[in-house]
Amino acid sequence: MHPALSIILFTTSSGAGYGMLFLLGLGAALGLLPTTRGFGLAACGLALGFVTFGLVSSTFHLGHPERAWRAFSQWRSSWLS
């Protein structure tokens, strides 16, 4: 099995981002994280950056990457919805 690089980047980056958001929420609820605003903004920004990078990299796996905007603009008519 030889998965495409875009799929590897998608799964690792988005998984790391969502996992980081989950752990940040859990740590904040249990009082284990610093309560400074800078830490919260930096940690959430980094996690959302991972998620965004992963989702953008998934569009490069499409057959025609130049048409990736259609997947986002026509979500109501998608066969997945």
State the pTM of this model. Answer: 0.75
Position 25 scores a pLDDT of: 94
Which residue is associated with the tokens 């690792």?
A: 12
Position 16 scores a pLDDT of: 97
Position 12 scores a pLDDT of: 95
| Residue-level pLDDT, tens digit, the chain, 81 residues | 788 888 899 999 999 999 999 999 999 999 999 989 999 999 999 999 999 999 888 878 777 777 777 777 776 775 554
Q: Which two tokens stand for residue 14?
A: 């988005």
CB 10 within 8 A of CB 58: yes
Which residue is associated with the tokens 């499409």?
A: 62
* Residue 31 DSSP class: T
* Residue 35 DSSP class: -
